[in-house]
Structure 1
Amino acid sequence: MKKKISLLIGLGLFALQFMFSQGSPDYSGGLKVNLNEDGSKYFRIISWAQFWVQNNSDRPLDANGNEQSDLDFSLRRARILMYAQINKDFLILTHFGLNSLNADNMTSIGTGDRSQLFFHDVWAQYRLSDNHAIGGGLHYWNGISRLNNQSTLNMLTMDNQRQAWATLGLTDQFARHIGVYLKGNLKKLQYRIAINDAITNNLQASAIPANGGAAVYSGRRLLGSKDAGRNYAGYFDYNFLDQESNFLPYKVGSYLGGKKVFNVGAGFFLHPKGAVVANSSGQLSGEDVSIFAVDAFYDSPVGENGAAITAYALAQFNDYGKDFTLGTTYETGSLIHGHLGYVFPSESKTKFQPYIQYDNRQIDAINDSATSFGIGTNAYFSGHNSKLTLEYFNTKYANNEAVGTLTLQAMIYL
């Protein structure tokens, strides 16, 4: 019994050490268990949760025509990520959890068709050399931009720019594809490229294009996997200053001055015949989906006492097919996005980082634009490991009235 109590106390102190001493998103954190003396064989577990409180006075009526409360609670993310280095050449990663759990999609006993718990990533990797590796499975080695490879542990803004996760639910499962990838670096140039299967049951799983109308993103389902089953992605970024890690695919949103980084990147996503249109007689044909982007990321300490600046800019060009739109999220057109944050100098462990963000989307189908503006602040109690975020976000879509949402997020990860 004494040995068990001592072990529990030791594990508790070990976890507390990680909780309170690791303030940088660049740390290799979580619970690491070495399987041999030199630590070359090990497994590591990382866990995190994000809880949201939102106020939105413009919420639509529910499915029964009733008014909804302005105040809403949700579990935005609850995840567990585990990876193991079997030896220096082999790595396996498993990542599972849930997203956006709230009173409307919970079930009485946590089972059924609306259960949110699923695998986000399951992939294995083989090291070709010190700087290059190949892998496959359900993976997150995406193309297009830094934001399409964003980690959810260390974002500057409260959440990612939604249109930057440009294929989520259209050709992948929650931004993850089944496929193979190659990744590595050539001195200061990092790269990741992938060949993937497109999903069949996507967000337009029952849609059929209207005669002479807009495209539908259902090429694999309507045209078959031989003609429309594959997609191709890549992202390349040049590290002018400090070299970022690409051990895992998840791009850091803000280093809080822990590194001095300036990267310029470019990426792509191609899905031949991924979109489908129908002519005036109803005959179906495929249209190629193509998305291209260029971006720049800067993060650096400024002066003394922990002051730091983070800046990011993205230009993204989307072709989902003729006049494609899906809700107010996906559109054939273009996106310009930028965000800027500043960590105030402080001798305390608690730090504050106000930020702003702005988007402008040009939408072909409506020959109009959508704009978004966000302002918020992060309060860091132990870096990204323990923080609060308060953000006001306002979006105006074409001629519709602007919709504003105030959100408070509490996040912790180990």
Structure 2
Amino acid sequence: MVFMFGLCLTTKAQDTLPLPTEYIKSGDFVDHTYKPLTLKLSDDGSKYIRFLFWNQMWARVTENNPGTVSVDGRPSRQSTDIGIRRARVLAYAEISPRFLILTHWGINNQTFINGGVPGGGMTGNPGNIPVSVNPETGEGSAIGLSAKKPQLFFHDIWTEYKITDQLYMGMGLHYWNGISRMTSQSTLNFMTIDAPIFNWPLIELTDQFARQFGFYAKGQIGKWDYRLALNKPFSVGNGGRYDEATQRPIAANIANDHWATQGYIAYQFFEKENNKLPFFVGSYLGTKKVFNIGAGWHHHPKATSSANGSGEQQFHDISLASLDVFLDLPFSSASGTALTAYAVYYNYDFGPNYMRNVGIMNVGFGGTSQNGPGNAQPTIGTGNIFYANAGFLLPKQLLGDKGKLQPYGALTHKNFQYFEDTTWQYDLGLNYYINAHQAKVTLQYSQRPIFENYRKSSAAGEWILQTHIFL
């Protein structure tokens, strides 16, 4: 059999968006179209191996949280840096319509001071670099972390079998998540520059970069799309405590041996979405008419603990739920305009006063506020979160052959039990699509609240420039 690279039309994954027709022209226009990296294992393409490669690079100017110091120990009100947000490879194969194998690996979040392996080699510059921050003190420590030679690791690795046309089942380290659409968001086609992170509420504690080991079932029945899973979460944590200063219990993760259930079910009012892979599309750029309403959950019994005033340990379930709506609506085929909008309400219960701060690719240290250093902010905790984003794809005549523009905005409301104040924050950005999601440049400004003494005291901002290419 002769192996060749070609396009397998019958197995196009939802990560691979159809290229808008305005990019396919003759004359002096440079043709950016290409065939997906597919190795055909049969003449008709029904047996194949599909490869995807993508890189996302960030350059940033960050207004740091109060009390932040830089890597040289000096006070730092502002920092600038460049790093790798994601560098990934994904491969999946079908040699029969009855089964599929998928492997996904890569790195994330490498900066000039962190994101590497401990030691990093002969010149790894290991040191006391914080990788976890206490939200009350803003302090944290870890020894031996460096910026160099990040370790490639598996994100997804699973096997799947077809039971019927409406039911597929599989097992492994998987991304068939519950809770919300955005909890299974593809990183190839965000509309905003990235996810807000609280959409992955278990991130890097009971999961491995938003994945857990487990069994899953998925499929479509009429207009209904579903995914259900029984998972064995990673076992982490030493439990919570009782805070004498505020006279209240503080929950934290505790090592346990319990299974978790999760699921997400959506009704598709217009066109159906492809669910061969678990990754939901962020924006179809006018190539598909989609309106979905969905709901989901994740439940992990006795996965956190706290203590009462007498020092007695109390166990708590992690119970997470959401309701969301997604719209992608082409307006005019002549102008190529389209509206993309998404809204979600999260209800999170990790136990009393559970709180986690997150700072993506954080290059700051120290910190005197409850945010911690650098760009960290209260992100995941017991309470409620409302998030919405919307973007409009501008007329193709605006730039002609040079690409398309999509301004967007996002709004977040957080109401955490841990703090006395609720907060609003926003993101504003612009996508420049050179070749749809295959090649784009994004500029975004994000504002975040600063907390001191359990109340919002001020706000800070961050500019991010991202270059994104995937094949």
TM-score scaled by length of structure 2: 0.78
Cα-Cα RMSD = 2.6
Deviations 1:154-183 (A, max 9, x none): 001000122111111232111000001000
8 Å Cα contact 1:184-1:246 kept in structure 2: yes
**Residue 413 of structure 2 aligns with which residue?**
360
Aligned length: 390
Residue ranges of structure 1 left out of the alignment (5+ in a row): 1-6, 13-20
Q: Which residue of 2 aligns with 1:402?
A: 459
Residue of structure 2 in register with 1:3 after alignment: none
Given that 2:445 and 2:462 are in contact with CA atoms closer than 8 Å, whether structure 1 keeps it comes out as yes
TM-score when scaled to structure 1?
Answer: 0.88
Q: What is residue 322 of structure 1 aligned with on the other side?
A: 352
Percent identity for Structure 1 against Structure 2: 37
Unmatched tracts of structure 2, length 5 or more = 7-16, 21-32, 125-143, 358-377
**1: distance between equivalents of 2:41 and 2:34?**
17
Give yes or no for contact 1:23–1:385 (8 Å, CA) kept in 2.
Answer: no
Structure 2 residue aligned with 1:51: 57
Supply the distance in 2 between the matched residues of 1:230 and 1:28 (Cα, whole angstroms).
Answer: 44
Quick one: which amino acid aligns to residue 274 of structure 2? S
Which of 326, 335, 340 is the equivalent residue of 1:305?
335
Counterpart in the other structure of 2:204: 169
2:5, 2:38 within 8 Å by CA — same for their partners in 1? no
Match status 1:236 vs 2:265: yes
Counterpart position of 1:61? 69
**Cα distance, 1:113 vs. partner?**
6.4
SS of residue matched to 1:70: strand
Give the 3 Å change call, closer, same or farther, for CA 110–331 of structure 1 in structure 2: farther
- Quote the Cα distance in structure 1 between the aligned partners of 2:414 and 2:273: 30
Following superposition, the deviation at residue 277 of structure 1 comes to: 1.5
Tell me the equivalent position of 1:151.
Answer: 186
Mapped contact 2:99–2:161 kept (Cα < 8 A): yes
Matched residue of 2:180: which SS? coil
Q: CA deviation at 1:40?
A: 2.1
Letter of the structure 2 residue corresponding to residue 247 of structure 1: K
Check conservation: 2:18, 2:287, Cα contact below 8 A. Answer: no
**Shift in CA distance, 336/208, structure 1 to aligned 2, threshold 3 Å:** closer
Kindly indicate which of the two structures has a greater share of residues assigned to helix. 1
| Aligned equivalents of 1:127, 1:165: Cα separation in 2 | 28
Q: Deviations over 1:35-71 (max 9, x none)?
A: 1222222111100000111001325213663245621
**CA distance 1:121–1:361, shift in 2 (3 Å):** same
Corresponding position: 1:194 with 2:229: yes
Checking the alignment, whether the CA contact within 8 Å between 2:251 and 2:353 is kept in structure 1 is no
Instruction: Give the Cα separation in 1 of the matches to 2:91 and 2:122.
Output: 27
Q: How does 1:15-414 map to 2 (within 5 A)?
A: 23=19, 30-58=36-64, 60-62=68-70, 65-68=73-76, 70-105=79-114, 106=116, 107-108=120-121, 115-201=150-236, 205-206=237-238, 208-210=240-242, 213-219=248-254, 221=255, 224-225=256-257, 229-303=258-332, 304-327=334-357, 328-347=378-397, 348-349=400-401, 350-397=403-450, 398-414=455-471
Query: Within 2, Cα distance between the matches of 1:326 and 1:381?
Result: 37
Which secondary structure does the structure 2 equivalent of 1:147 belong to?
A: helix
Q: Secondary structure at 2:235's aligned position in 1?
A: coil
Change (3 A) 1:333 1:382: same
Q: Is the 8 A contact 1:180 1:194 kept in 2?
A: yes
Question: Are the equivalent residues in 1 in contact too, given 2:5–2:39 (CA < 8 A)?
Answer: no
Q: CA contact under 8 A between 2:5 and 2:37: conserved in structure 1?
A: no
SS at match of 2:198: helix
Contact 1:29 1:46 in 2 (8 A): no
Q: Deviations over 1:90-149 (max 9, x none)?
A: 101000011111111143479986634211000000011122100000000000111111
Give, in angstroms, the shift of residue 243 of structure 1: 0.4
Query: Is this contact kept in 2: 1:22–1:382, CA < 8 A?
Result: no
For the Cα contact (< 8 Å) 2:232–2:260, is it kept in 1? Answer: yes
